[in-house]
Amino acid sequence: MNAFQKLGLDADLLRAIEDMGFETPSEVQEKSIPILLEQETDLVSLAQTGTGKTAAFGFPLIQKIDANSKKTQALILSPTRELCLQITNELKNYSKYKKSLNVVAVYGGASITDQARSIERGAQIIVATPGRMQDMIRRKLANISSIGYCVLDEADEMLNMGFYEDIKSILSHTPKEKKTWLFSATMPKEVSKIAKKFMSDPIEITVGSKNTGTSNVSHEYYLVNHRNRYDALKRLADANPDIFSVIFCRTKRDTQKVAEKLIEDGYNAAALHGDLSQNQRDLVMKSFRTRQIQMLVATDVAARGIDVDDITHVINYQLPDEIETYTHRSGRTGRAGKQGVSMVIISKSEVRKIRTIEKIIQQKFEQKEIPDGKEICKIQLFHLANDIKKTEINHDIDPYLPTINEALEDFTKEELIKKFFSVEFTRFFNYYQKAPDLSSDSAGGRPEVSEGNTRYFINVGSKDGYDWKSLKDFLTGELNLDRDDIFKVDCKASFSFFNTDEKHAELILNTFTDYQQNGRFVNVEITKDQKSDRGGKRRERGGKRNGKSFNDKKGENFKGRRRSEKSDKKGGRKGSRSKNIENSLKRRRSKA
């Protein structure tokens, strides 16, 4: 009897499991599946990302569904479109030998009529994002009034994304007797609140320790001027020649740009984000697993599927919007008993976030300096020496040795070593000798990669009942944008700020032309000083402002409806010379 059979799974599932190549259940599966199969109970199951939670609820759910009835019997809520599709695909794989079982994905950004039609044909299981599910219910395109099971998958992430109200409202359309299964990587307050409010006497399963980062991970942060973020990233990579890392950016756009720049600068890098096709993503992941890629630049959502064990470094190129997400990121390293480092590149204004994270992960960060040129040269030289030591001699070069020996016969071993290292390193030394100090106080360096973002002012804030999450919800809803598209949402008392890619500027300004909410005009403008909201803070502290008068006073900090000039994009690009140096260095590295 195989280990999955022991859990009580039926023949159709076992065949599918065999096809997928799963040999043994993971811990969360081992603990959750028998309970869910044998009991009709609510369940809270906590396990780190990548531990197989989908199957932990997917297997028992599929076994419990009556495939002969076309009624919708289960609803799975998931935070993003990508995850929604991922879960749907997994469930389809699990149930491939249950011919009449249909799983339908319901998510924003695709035709709601098509989705409704699929449901009408009979969908025993619906996998949905909360926003679109709400739409479906409102328009009576889906009936969840007699479901037996509701799964809240990646519950922490859903709450971080501000879906509490949506979840609450969706659940109000489900029967009281249904069972709720909540799966989450972490258990922040909000998740306990959901468990308390919407579940009755749930059985609780915890795999690993609750709410803490992996202790195999050490945490470091590097203070830099925000303009130097990219250069700092490169130095961190150069100072760790054997780096095998995931680099996290906040948006798809930044992910793409950072990856492109790294590639351009000769690193073995690639981007992983939701705009790539599944095929492209598979290719990237394959190259990463086989170490052809040393630096994988990813969005949080795309990185959720990464199950690679030997990652040495996680680099937070930008901190996540939702602080809890940091745990997911750092959990990519320090796996399978190995040690890992989670690095954070931050500007001064973000230091307080580090303190918040320390509380969540219950671990201290070490503040470190970005290595200077000399240090990096030393590390690289040492690494090269080590490489030489380890290199097996290639005897194909034997026929050429006499000529080489003849050319070099006048030199001693010491001289040869000096010459060899000089060939490899003079240009590299020159590049780093001229490289500026990247500590946060010094100016210079090239602008941050993420320009091309636009920062907006909006005249609603916490006095209007918003916090950054609900404001983000409001904006994504009104603008029909992805959650990824709106970031750096900063909610003040009576006004707020947020960022988008500049391509959305027109949509945003048009949407909020003559826009009224509860009889009040909601006004959005592009901030004049896109780099910071210092203007806003100053005003806030002045304490005189109130919502009503703001429109009259906007002149000094904000220019209405006028795009501020973008900063010189490729400003201080380094010349091709130093780039070649780096390329040659990286080429060598990639051979190692």
Binding positions for Mg ion, rule: CB under 5 A: 53
Q: What does the alpha-carbon distance between residue 491 and residue 91 come to, in Å, rounded to a whole number? A: 39
Q: Is 80 in the site for ligand ADP (CB under 6 A)?
A: no
Nearer to ligand ADP, 161 or 258 (CB): 161
Nearer to ligand ADP, 52 or 340 (CB): 52
Q: Give the number of other CB atoms < 10 A from CB of residue 110.
A: 13
347 binds, among ligand ADP, Mg ion, none (CB under 5 to 8 A by kind): none
Closest residue to Mg ion in the complex (CB): 53
Query: Least CB distance from residue 190 to Mg ion, whole Å?
Result: 18
Q: Is 25 in the site for ligand ADP (CB under 6 A)?
A: yes
Query: Least CB distance from residue 170 to Mg ion, whole Å?
Result: 19
Query: Least CB distance from residue 491 to ligand ADP, whole Å?
Result: 30
Size of the site for ligand ADP (CB under 6 A): 13
Contact predicate 266/427, CB 8 Å? no
Nearer to ligand ADP, 326 or 497 (CB): 326
Nearer to Mg ion, 301 or 585 (CB): 301
Q: Is 256 in the site for ligand ADP (CB under 6 A)?
A: no
Among candidates 86, 138, 141, which has minimal Cα distance to 111? 141
Query: Least CB distance from residue 483 to ligand ADP, whole Å?
Result: 19
Instruction: Please state, in angstroms and as integers, the Cα–Cα distance from residue 151 to each residue in 94, 198, 352, 592, following that order.
Output: 17, 12, 35, 46
Helix residue spans in 228-323 (DSSP H): 229-238, 252-264, 278-289, 300-303
Query: Least CB distance from residue 3 to ligand ADP, whole Å?
Result: 9
25 binds, among ligand ADP, Mg ion, none (CB under 5 to 8 A by kind): ligand ADP
51 binds, among ligand ADP, Mg ion, none (CB under 5 to 8 A by kind): ligand ADP
Contact predicate 259/248, CB 8 Å? no
- The residues in 260-319 that bind ligand ADP, with binding defined as CB under 6 A, are 307
Instruction: Please state, in angstroms and as integers, the Cα–Cα distance from residue 571 to each residue in 368, 402, 434, 577, following that order.
Output: 28, 50, 17, 17
Contact predicate 557/536, CB 8 Å? yes
- The residues in 39-68 that bind ligand ADP, with binding defined as CB under 6 A, are 47, 49-55
Q: What does the alpha-carbon distance between residue 326 and residue 365 come to, in Å, rounded to a whole number? A: 13
50 binds, among ligand ADP, Mg ion, none (CB under 5 to 8 A by kind): ligand ADP
Which helix H or strand E contains 44, and what residues bound it? strand 43-46
Among candidates 571, 572, 471, which has minimal Cα distance to 524? 471
Q: What does the alpha-carbon distance between residue 361 and residue 359 come to, in Å, rounded to a whole number? A: 6
Nearer to Mg ion, 22 or 267 (CB): 22
Nearer to ligand ADP, 51 or 256 (CB): 51
**Helix, strand and coil percent figures for the chain, each rounded to 5:** 45, 15, 40
Binding residues (CB under 6 A) for ligand ADP: these are: 22, 25-26, 29, 47, 49-55, 307
